[in-house]
A = this chain, B = another copy of it.
């Protein structure tokens, strides 16, 4: 399945004023021919960053917690390094709420995801499962304590579960459940496969600050500098990681999230790091639901302005403004996902890599 070439669409839109053409899935076989070539990997593997030991108290009775030490707060990282991978800055991708690193892999309808595409474009890619999610595990000791009666039920963590209905609202597949937008870029026909990506979010079991933040900062140092990418729940994690330790953070890609208010001191730190923020389409077209994308967009617009005012290199990529229409919140899985990846790779080249050579 080929996706549209956004440049072509932009050109057509400008030339003829026919924005509806953005919905057309025009073929660009030449551009993507190389995706079917064998992928050559210099090295790949997985490891953990961070992690703390916790001693459990043994308690009597069936269902009570056993004793011993467990490890919690660790962050699982899976990586692939292409040949000549040291020619580009590595990219760390961190998924959002109720999802795992599956976010960046094969799309629900079976197309290539951003993780492999970035590798094919010569980037070393590190996929991190947030601490307390997926292969990073979580601290389950409270469950057995409540089960054994040692702790009252209201001490249980609030586990976030994204229902199918919530997904349609938060991920902006359509204005109401089951009814996609006319120009929806998400592969709606593969929705059942997407639902399988949504897994319980146990971030409420984590200490404050969230250990994923320091783990991301440590990962950036470990790989000798990286662009940190976050999405949605983790969209502002790159900034928060940089506020803990900016030394490894060479660039920040933040995708569709709320942007909290920063102090002048925080803004001064963040303004030293090239930052791009990406938002998709239909931000005001979904009524109700837990996310207010329009307000988030406005808040992040102010954040970009403040970064610039502090001397920073900050870009807001609002896709509809570039003539790219119909993108959902899961834009890394949308039909035009590789066109969006190209935008980000170009941004890295120009704002992170060329800029660092000038400095």
A residues near B (Cβ < 8 Å) are 38-48, 51, 53, 56, 63, 66-71, 74, 76, 78, 83, 100-102, 105-106, 110, 112-113, 116, 129, 134-138, 140-141, 143-144, 146-147, 149, 153-154, 156-159, 161-166, 192-193, 195-200, 202
Q: Which residue of B39, B76, B161, B165 contacts A41 across the interface (Cβ within 8 Å)?
A: B39
Q: Which residue of B68, B137, B153 contacts A149 across the interface (Cβ within 8 Å)?
A: B153
A166 & B68 in contact (Cβ 8 Å cutoff): yes
- Shortest C-beta distance, A186 to chain B (Å), equals 17
Known: A40-B39, A147-B153, A156-B146. A46 touches B102 (CB 8 A): yes
Q: List 15 A-B contacts (CB under 8 A).
A: A38-B41, A45-B113, A48-B193, A56-B163, A68-B166, A70-B163, A71-B164, A71-B198, A74-B196, A76-B102, A135-B135, A140-B161, A140-B200, A144-B159, A147-B158
Contacts of A143 in B (CB 8 A): 143, 156-157, 159
A163 & B69 in contact (Cβ 8 Å cutoff): yes
Contacts of A51 in B (CB 8 A): 192, 195-196
Q: Is the interface of A mostly helix, strand, loop or mixed?
A: mixed
B39 & A135 in contact (Cβ 8 Å cutoff): no
Measured CB to CB, the nearest residue on chain B to A160 is B140
Known: A45-B116, A153-B147. A71 touches B195 (CB 8 A): yes
Contacts of A113 in B (CB 8 A): 45
Contacts of A193 in B (CB 8 A): 47-48
Q: Which residue of B78, B105, B112, B137 contacts A198 across the interface (Cβ within 8 Å)?
A: B137
Identify 10 new A-B residue pairs, CB closer than 8 A, beyond the known A38-B41, A71-B198. Answer: A45-B116, A47-B110, A47-B193, A67-B163, A69-B164, A71-B195, A137-B198, A140-B159, A140-B202, A143-B159
